Amino acid sequence: MAASAAARTSIGLTLRFHRVIPDCSKCPLYRLKSCTSNRANPQRRSSFNSFRTMNRHLQTSKCLSQAQEGSSNSEDPDDVVNVVFIDRSGKRIPVKGKTGDNVLFLAHKHGIELEGACEASLACSTCHVYVSAAHFDKLPEPEEREDDMLDMAPMLQENSRLACQIVLTPDLDGIELTLPKVTRNFYVDGHVPKPH
């Protein structure tokens, strides 16, 4: 599933190449002034030291393809952002992300069971996660469209966010993202029903 999701993302990249007109105002990298695309920053010189981002003019959704992540010097320890996913059974899955990574696609890369039905375009709530208290306030405020989609998510909490809108920065190191137990087959206290 994660492999196919990652493959799908890179395929999606190719398919969308000739059809997309990007809206830079929606991109968190643009809002964080971390966008290195010449399209968004015509005066800016090419500088790829801090952020490994893809050419933003290729698509509107906030995603980084797996192919893209491997394309630059990927072993720089300063860029590593440690993330812990807590899956629906309560299991902790620590992963190493990088600054600029989109958390939904990071989850897919590591086989975490987080759907992204609309592929990071703020048209669903299937990537709903709970953010650790220590990091929740470090995230930029959700835009109205994210709040609108969050309203649809079952078991909404104060610390709910959509994973597809979370882009890793160094101060999010140690962030823990818990997948809500949304389905009735999972007992809230983690009890696993014995087969009968």
Q: Which positions touch another protein (CB under 8 A)?
A: 1, 4, 8, 12, 115, 117-119, 121-126, 144-145, 147-149, 151-154, 156, 182-185, 193, 195-196
Q: How far is the CB of 28 from another protein (least distance, A)?
A: 17
Closer residue to another protein, CB minimum distance, 151 or 171: 151
Return the closest-CA partner of residue 176 out of 143, 137, 129. Answer: 129
Closer residue to another protein, CB minimum distance, 42 or 192: 192
Q: How far is the CB of 120 from another protein (least distance, A)?
A: 9
Closer residue to another protein, CB minimum distance, 81 or 149: 149
Closer residue to another protein, CB minimum distance, 9 or 36: 9
Q: How far is the CB of 29 from another protein (least distance, A)?
A: 20
Q: How far is the CB of 186 from another protein (least distance, A)?
A: 9
Q: How far is the CB of 121 from another protein (least distance, A)?
A: 4
Strand partners, 96: 82
Closer residue to another protein, CB minimum distance, 48 or 187: 187
